[in-house]
């Protein structure tokens, strides 16, 4: 009496279970990846590939010592 016939996963019963388990793990892993990407997004500063302004380039040249104070102020004006 303990073993009834046809109460196991035979035939097409395993298909939906495999698909639902794969979807569950795909959603779980995808959600984790999206969460990590959202948390690791750089905040502030220029966007990657953004070009610096002319004032920034001039300030960098002045900081490196390529131009003197008079030339810096003249070009900035």
> What percentage of residues in the chain have a pLDDT greater than 70?
77
Distance CA 3, CA 71 (A): 95
The answer, yes or no, to whether residue 16 has pLDDT greater than 80, is yes
Q: What is the pLDDT of residues 33-58, one digit of tens each?
A: 999 999 988 776 666 677 888 888 99
The answer, yes or no, to whether residue 27 has pLDDT greater than 80, is yes
Residue linked to tokens 């500063």: 45
Q: In the chain, where are the structural domains located?
A: 52-77
pLDDT of 63 reads: 92
pLDDT of 4 reads: 56
pLDDT of 45 reads: 62
């Amino acid at each position: 009496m303990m073993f009834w016939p046809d109460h196991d996963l035979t035939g097409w019963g395993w298909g939906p279970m495999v698909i639902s388990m794969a979807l569950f793990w795909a959603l779980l892993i995808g959600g984790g990846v999206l969460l990590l990407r959202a948390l690791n997004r750089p905040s502030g500063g220029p966007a990657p590939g953004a070009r610096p302004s002319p004032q920034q380039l001039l300030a960098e040249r002045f900081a490196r010592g390529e131009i003197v104070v008079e030339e810096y102020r003249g070009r900035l004006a």
